[in-house]
Structure 1
Amino acid sequence: MGFTNYTEAKSEEEELVSEEWKQMILSLPKERGWRTSHLYEYQGFWCQIAKIQAIANFQKHFQSFYSDVVLASIPKSGTTWLKALAFAVTNRDRFSVTSDSHPLLTSNPHDLVPFFEYKLYANNQTPCFSNFFSFDQRRLFGTHIPYPSLADSIKTSNCRIVYICRNPFDCFVSTWHFLGPLTSLSLEEAFEMFCQGIIGYGPFWEHMLGYWKESLERPEKGLFLMYEELKEDPLFHLKRLAKFLKCPFSLEEERSGVVEKIKKLCSFQNLKELEVNKKGKSIMSFENEKLFRKGEVGDWVNCLSPQMVERLSKVIDEKLGGSSLKFNVLPSNMDK
């Protein structure tokens, strides 16, 4: 079954690309892909063939507003959760978090906060934003695109960027479970590619460092959230998120439990059990139910061998050791 899905994915990707783009892309450095035949090195990161065309269109056409919010991540780092949290926080004046008709109860977070590269600019289209989220005062977007390759209007405007970062061990394991049924790679082959940086939108260390450095240099523009810290103390970081997005919780909201209610509404278990998240495809090629597996911290201990742990630990130390970016959860701090 894995090989069949792998072949179907390859055909689907190639059909979405114009002949002109195919010729340009085929001249790029390439490596074996995870769920498609190849990943191509574009602007310093690895990407599937169809996404390159979408990213180029996005870079050329997207115009950012000062009130825009861009939610960024490398895949399988808490993207769906961040979208739900940001949507609930920024729209709480329009949609009560206790309402039975709240959009998060009837729509997948990826439909409410669309990806630039998977949705808005996919299939060689250029979206019209004249009626974009007419119910929303802020435009919320999602992306896996590395910081240097964002549209210039995003980098130069006063719009806000929120990045969620997950420790590489769990990031790899979550990616493997997500793409495993769609790939012909073995676990060991996929792991080695990950350690070499050959993963969609990777190398992972370059992706993380790009947004990390921006958050340090321009903290008023970039907020860097750690997945593990958000899991450990969601209420504290929800308040950070709201303040950063210029819609802080009032004392009355805190007293009445609004922050706690948003936490509950957007919790992994609640989102996973919603009927809307058990069917359909809000992201091209991926069923919604596959977006919710465990959402745990430290699940890598159930998947990686001691040799793998040592290998990835060395990569992290080499690539991130010289930066101030640190993870609270590393192998030496966890029970083996």
Structure 2
Amino acid sequence: METPHPQEPKYLKDDEVSQECMSLLSTLPSESGWLSKKLYKYQGFWHNARQLQGVISCQKYFQPQDTDILLVTTPKSGTTWLKAILFSLVNRTHFKPTKGDHPLLTNNPHTLVPFLELKLYIDGQTPDLSSFASPRLFSTHLPYVSLPKSIQDSKCKLVYLCRNPKDIFISLWAFTNKLRLQEMGTNSIEQVFEKFCEGVSLYGPFWDHMLSYWNESLKNPDKIYFLTYEEMKEQPNLHLRKLADFLGCPFSTKEVEEGMVDDMLDICSFDNMSNLKVNKEGKLPSGESNNAFFRNGKVGDWKNYLTMEMVERLEKICEEKLVGSGLKF
């Protein structure tokens, strides 16, 4: 691999992986990435090198507790928003959403709800998770086939959030361009659209990712709660209460009457979170600016960017790949 630029942030350093991971990479199909130099196909899905090390380490070492809650998303599906909502929901007895000391006011949601393979296991080590209070709250972008078997076999709960692929694509294109160094230039929308349609994107193909969790949620609705970003945006109050029921921490009549549900949605709202100092100026330990995770949070923004031909092509892919599944966008 090429010598990294001295100023490269951690998220671009694909050469800092173990020998075991290096050996695996040499056996995998690869394509040029949107942000990293290369993406590698592992268990049917695309990863960059550093991330793949986290995937393998997580598969080997993560031991779930039955009370764990895992937020699973395809990238750019509203992950940041739902992390904030889940954190606020499960911690509401300790942190009232109206209090000025709420952790969401001074921490990016990605800090409060860490990614298993992108934060906790990314260095190939076994992290110390003893400081996590129960219920432990984690997140992942892993496809179902790549989830540690320990998670699949446990009683822990999974919340799966996905989004209209047209909006995912635009958000992913804008996000990766924002994280590219100046000397790397930007990717044109046409360049990456072709890759997206071929399934070559982080954790892609998006259709296989969504379908695997959709099918599992139908088989095991007590374990996997399947939610779309569009549903959550349209009826946030209803779906937040459904989430609370699913996770075994339902809102009491008193909480509902006192406005707890709405207060929680207010503190987690795009307008509130995007205007907080921590999210305007802070950075994650891996180097991403917190403000990169807040673009506009709207449904249907793809209409401002995609040509009719692009729309037709993506809709045809969805129609073909999701046919007969019952999953629609």
Q: TM-score, normalised by structure 1?
A: 0.92
Which residue in the other structure is 1:175 paired with?
172
Partners of 1:281 and 1:126 in 2: how far apart? 24
Quote the offset at 1:8 in angstroms: 4.0
Query: 1:277 and 1:9 mapped to 2: Cα distance?
Result: 18
- Cα distance, 1:188–1:283 mapped onto 2, change above 3 Å: farther
Q: Which residue of 2 aligns with 1:189?
A: 191
* CA deviations over 1:175-211 (Å, ceiling 9, x no partner): 1111124265321010010011000001000000111
Matches within 5 A, 1:75-90: 75-90=75-90
> Which residue number in structure 2 is paired with residue 51 of structure 1?
51
Shift of 1:161: 0.1
Give 3-state SS (helix, strand or coil) of 2:152's partner.
Answer: helix
Report 1:1-336 matches (<5 A).
8=8, 12-132=12-132, 136-181=133-178, 182=180, 184-282=186-284, 284-327=286-329
Deviations 1:274-312 (A, max 9, x none): 111112222624210010010000000100011111111
CA distance in 2, matches of 1:185, 1:210: 29
* Residue identity opposite 1:326 in structure 2: K
> Conserved in 1, the CA contact under 8 Å of 2:63 and 2:151?
yes
Q: The residue matched to 2:281 in structure 1 has which SS? A: coil
- Match for 2:134: what amino acid? Q
Unaligned runs of 5+ in 1: 328-336
| TM-score under structure 2 length normalisation | 0.94
Seq. identity, % = 50
- In structure 2, distance between residues paired with 1:284 and 1:210: 29
The alpha-carbon deviation at position 80 of structure 1 amounts to: 0.4
Aligned length: 320
Encode CA deviations 1:234-285: one digit per residue, 9 max, x unaligned. 0000001100110000001110100010010100110101111112222624
Q: CA separation of 1:65/1:93 partners in 2, compared to 1, >3 Å: closer, same or farther? A: same
**Counterparts of 1:283 and 1:267 in 2: how far apart (Å)?**
24
Task: Indicate the SS of the match to 2:200.
Answer: coil
Q: CA deviation at 1:326?
A: 1.1
1:219 counterpart SS class: coil
Query: 1:13-55: per-residue Cα shift (whole Å, max 9, x none)?
Result: 3232123321321220011111111110001100101111111
